[in-house]
Structure 1
């Protein structure tokens, strides 16, 4: 991708709801979807890319009116499968607000692999997604497309709130340039 001087590897893209993101642990480990349409690259591949490099993250968001926002993090990585693909992120900049730092240090959760901090429920089941949920989220980009119910659709709390399902999302990484 050419945004922000290029070099980006897209690992998550949503824009029309054609791909169901309410998937199990194995699907999120291995990846799913169509690289030319909506997809998730897979946590194992993301781990392999980020484990030995200084990697940054850019999150591009578009709302229902076509307005765009972004969040960029100067540091991004996830741990391996033995640690449930735990998220590490820091160094926010952008115009969409920081809705990911809340999740830093959290393990990935799906409906069949509950690793969130909410003792009474599974956040992935409650919000129809899969994410690095804490108790539960400030962002949920893998939530149910088009669902404006509280927290259930793809949302970025500090930009459009929990009651707003974003029209498109894209998450991408690249080796940080100094």
Structure 2
């Protein structure tokens, strides 16, 4: 009840005539007085003031109660939405590839994935969402020579470098991410204004117990099929050579790779070196004496269909 309406209660004490509004005010005041024994002995003016206070408090209480109920109703709805988002995020991140994480995104970028599920540690990866429809998880990049690729077995196992520039994602993670389902490989290269690519419809990396053995097939592209020479080969690093032929190609050509007496491509060789066959080489494209300035190796599910952007 409004304050100015309650003030009309005062004339009711001095005149027997009562309006319907005065009657309602008295009834309201009487109800409050009956609930509060102390109000019985106080003057009418005090009752009116207290009534005003009580009515206001009652009104406020009603508003607060309604708000609380509305908030509770909203809170009841939120868990369903959050649960759905959490489940979707969990599914996406557990998938562990750029396609699942950024499908529909306009730009490439860095994201966290959870190869071991939501309870496992996060791994930061770079997803290429622009090349040939996107969905690629990049696992190798050479671009400026800032990162040393002549590394140990353990370093190649765990990964190294800066994923925004030059890096190797890590053979253990490569094995985990390429063994969950059919995966395809793409290699992009650039030298000056010349570009080339190689695509392999099937690609996987074996476990550490199997020396991260390379498996690939189904070539297409314009770079030439240099990687086929390395199919079925174990990985070698400067301090470990599982090659039964006994030739330590990693030490000779200063990189970690799937060497085979020794290579037709060596994308982890020395940056900018155009002599002694120690550079970054794809023989079927630029020969063995031309070190390629930019390379990027990436994979995505073989069943991937290009995302619709915009």
- What TM-score range do you get, normalising by the shorter chain? over 0.9
More strand by share: 1
Give the gaps of 5 or more residues in structure 1: none
| Partner of residue 260 from structure 2, selected from 115, 134, 147 | 134
**Matched residues in 1 for 2:266 and 2:225: separation?**
13
The secondary structure found in structure 2 opposite 1:57 is strand
* Residue 172 of structure 2: aligned partner: 44
Partner of 1:48: helix, strand, or coil?
Answer: helix
Does 2:244 match 1:111? no
The answer to whether the aligner puts 1:144 opposite 2:270 as a matched pair is: yes
Deviation string, structure 1 residues 34-55 (Cα, Å, up to 9, x no partner): 1111000000001000112100
- Note closer, same or farther for the CA distance 1:117–1:146 as it changes in structure 2 (3 Å cut): farther
Q: State the TM-score, normalized to the length of structure 1.
A: 0.96
Q: What corresponds to 2:195 in structure 1?
A: 68
For residue 23 of structure 1, report the CA deviation from its aligned partner.
0.5
Q: Is 1:12 the equivalent of 2:144?
A: no
Q: Who is 2:157 aligned against? A: 29
Q: Measure, in 1, the Cα distance between the counterparts of 2:207 and 2:155.
A: 15
Aligned residues: 176
Instruction: Say which one has the larger Rg.
Output: 2
Secondary structure at the counterpart of residue 62 of structure 1 = strand
Cross-structure match for 2:220: 93
**Secondary structure of the residue that 1:147 maps to in structure 2?**
coil
For the aligned residues, what is the CA RMSD?
A: 1.0
Partners of 2:283 and 2:243 lie apart in 1 by 18
Q: What TM-score do you get using the length of structure 2 for normalisation?
A: 0.56
For the residues of structure 2 that align with 1:69 and 1:26, how far apart are their CA atoms? 31
In structure 2, stretches of 5+ residues that fail to align are 1-127, 305-310
Q: CA deviation at 1:116?
A: 2.9
Aligned partner of residue 49 in structure 1, secondary structure: helix
CA distance in 1, matches of 2:141, 2:244: 26
CA contact (8 A) 1:60 1:70 kept: yes
CA–CA separation in structure 2 for the residues paired with 1:75 and 1:117: 25
